[in-house]
């Protein structure tokens, strides 16, 4: 009996080990989800990302295993929390940090289009967060560290990382800001986070700019205000070295560390996946790496300071969520948290009627840098994908249009749309906006009625198609991916797939009904 029990115990142990060595696929949160920050509350993990000019702001995710993430909302859901003031793709909300302390969640970030650094807090991350608490210390990428009833703020208001103590409920700064580390000499030292382990304070930062030269470095001190000594093995994460020069992942950086309930350490970071040569379009995404952190030692990321798309490593017991459906049904009369708007939107222009998403056309268009067009969008999450919608433009006058856009930002997008013509007819059109260049690639006259619009993407091309019977799609044209990539267009965001409606004048009463939106990974 004893031998049988030992064998049973061994079998269970091997089974558990097998379950925990499932490995995982990077990125763990695909698409435009940059600057990840993570915290743990009990057995739950919470993660936030930058959102720049999009509203609501700061997408918020929940996980039980750091691998499978479910978006549970946003931290900034009210205009009073998030005035975007005509923010562009370099504006709005920069890198947030999320922390949990004594029953309260804190999210601290920078609105570069408003008054700078602020924090919000809540006891229920799935509910509403507080109004902004504005902070004196400037710079970007602020982070919080709690210890013995005190709260410390780090950010980069000058060349280097600065520290001060604050009251997190009022924002009052309790002492003078002190520079504690300049980094290792890389440009743009930013993204600071403080951790305490084995009586050492560790200061993690990013350097090199959020491009191909990005890297993560670390220093430590026995005192929170320094002096901090640099890790001789810096950087602890980068893909600028030979070991990762051919990796399909580049630009690794802007990281945060978290310890799991089993004692293991993990790092979330941003990176991007180049396509069409050295161009990337999906924005900076959220990746995950295991960390070995021995007592009194420096943390080591995934053995050699690099990460991979397929990570064959032991993991926490995985708890996946149900897969998202391909189809967004507008008959549900609500949009999921993956849908966002450009700047501070006008809710009255977005309603639900007869099972459709009903968008009111306005003269503010996709090219306008001020105001908010009638435009609702979600992230492109995969290089190979298909997105399809069915729509009908109604009560339109000449020049009114509505459709589907592949949108990097105001001066870089491809539009597949239905347009009202002078003669009372309609046409389906394909247009590009590339900097100051605007061109209608092709236009086909249609009869009035429903039109299905589809875009298929791959490494090098977007292929635009239309149908009038819901089944027989015809290709209208193809566009090269690299022309709206970050390397060509600029900005800090990624491709959004959006539904929009634009009026030719204030006199127009046009609107569009969208029946559904399908998004499918290929």
Provide the annotated active-site residues: 35, 190
Classified as helix, coil or strand, 12 is helix
- Nearest residue to 518 via CA among 333, 417, 386: 386
- Nearest residue to 377 via CA among 385, 361, 389, 362: 389
Backbone CA torsion sign across 182, 184, 186, 189: negative
In this structure, what is the dihedral angle of CA atoms 356, 359, 365, 370, given to the nearest 10 degrees? -120
> Cα–Cα distance between 109 and 37 in angstroms, integer?
11
Helix (H) or strand (E) holding 20: helix 2-20
> Cα–Cα distance between 108 and 39 in angstroms, integer?
13
In DSSP notation, 155-214 reads EEEESEEEEEEE-TTT--B-S--EEEE--SS-SS-EEEEEEEETTEEEEEEEES-SSTT-
Give how far Cα 166 sits from Cα of 163, 176, 196, 201, 241, Å.
10, 10, 18, 18, 39
Residue-wise burial string across 17-53, b where 16 or more C-beta atoms lie within 10 A, e elsewhere: eeebebebebbbbbbbbbbbbbbbbeeebbbbbbbbb
> Cα–Cα distance between 460 and 229 in angstroms, integer?
45
Structure tokens at 350: 């977005």
Is there a contact between 213 and 271 (Cβ–Cβ < 8 Å)? Answer: no
């Amino acid at each position: 009996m004893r031998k049988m029990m030992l064998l049973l115990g061994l079998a269970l142990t091997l089974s558990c080990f097998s379950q925990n060595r499932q490995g995982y696929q990077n990125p763990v949160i695909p698409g435009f989800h940059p600057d990840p920050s993570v915290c743990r509350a009990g057995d739950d993990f919470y993660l936030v990302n930058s959102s720049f000019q999009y509203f609501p702001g700061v997408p918020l995710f929940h996980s039980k295993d750091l691998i499978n993430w479910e978006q549970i909302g946003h931290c900034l859901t009210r205009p009073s929390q998030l005035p975007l003031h005509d923010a562009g793709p370099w504006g709005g909300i920069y890198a947030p940090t999320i922390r949990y302390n004594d029953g309260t969640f804190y999210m601290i970030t920078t609105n570069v289009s408003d008054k700078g650094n602020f924090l919000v807090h809540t006891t229920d991350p799935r509910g509403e967060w507080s109004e902004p608490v504005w902070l004196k210390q400037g710079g970007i990428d602020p982070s919080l560290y709690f210890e013995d009833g005190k709260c410390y703020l780090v950010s980069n208001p000058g060349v280097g990382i600065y520290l001060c103590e604050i009251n997190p409920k009022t924002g009052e700064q309790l002492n003078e800001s002190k520079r504690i580390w300049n980094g290792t000499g890389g440009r743009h030292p930013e993204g600071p986070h403080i951790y305490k382990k084995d009586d050492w304070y560790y200061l993690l930062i990013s350097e090199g700019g959020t491009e191909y030269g990005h890297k993560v470095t670390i220093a430590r001190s026995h005192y929170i205000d320094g002096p901090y000594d640099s890790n001789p093995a810096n950087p602890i994460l980068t893909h600028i070295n030979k070991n990762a020069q051919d990796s399909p992942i580049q630009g690794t950086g802007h990281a945060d560390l978290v310890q799991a309930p089993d004692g293991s350490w993990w790092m979330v970071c941003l990176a991007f996946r180049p396509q069409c040569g050295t161009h990337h379009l999906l924005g900076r995404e959220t990746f995950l790496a295991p960390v070995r952190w021995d007592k009194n030692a420096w943390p080591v990321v995934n053995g050699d300071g690099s990460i991979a798309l397929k990570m064959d490593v032991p993991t926490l017991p995985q708890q996946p969520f149900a897969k998202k459906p391909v189809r967004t049904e507008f008959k549900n009369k609500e949009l999921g948290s993956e849908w966002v708007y450009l700047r501070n939107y006008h809710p009255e222009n977005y309603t639900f009627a007869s099972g459709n998403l009903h968008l009111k056309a306005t003269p503010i268009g996709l090219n306008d840098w001020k105001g908010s067009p009638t435009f609702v969008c979600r992230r492109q999450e995969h290089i190979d994908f298909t997105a399809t919608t069915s729509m009908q433009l109604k009560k339109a006058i000449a020049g009114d249009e509505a459709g589907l856009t592949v949108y990097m930002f105001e001066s870089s997008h491809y539009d597949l749309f239905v347009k009202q013509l002078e003669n009372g007819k309609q046409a389906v059109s394909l247009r590009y906006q590339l900097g100051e260049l605007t061109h209608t690639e092709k236009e086909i006259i249609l009869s009035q009625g429903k039109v299905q619009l589809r875009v298929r993407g791959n490494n090098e091309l977007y292929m635009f198609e239309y149908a009038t019977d819901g089944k027989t799609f015809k290709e209208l044209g193809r566009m090269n991916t690299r022309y709206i990539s970050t390397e060509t267009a600029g900005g800090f965001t990624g491709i959004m797939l959006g539904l929009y409606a634009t009026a030719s004048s204030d006199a127009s009463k046009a609107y569009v009904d969208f029946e559904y939106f399908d998004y499918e990974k290929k």
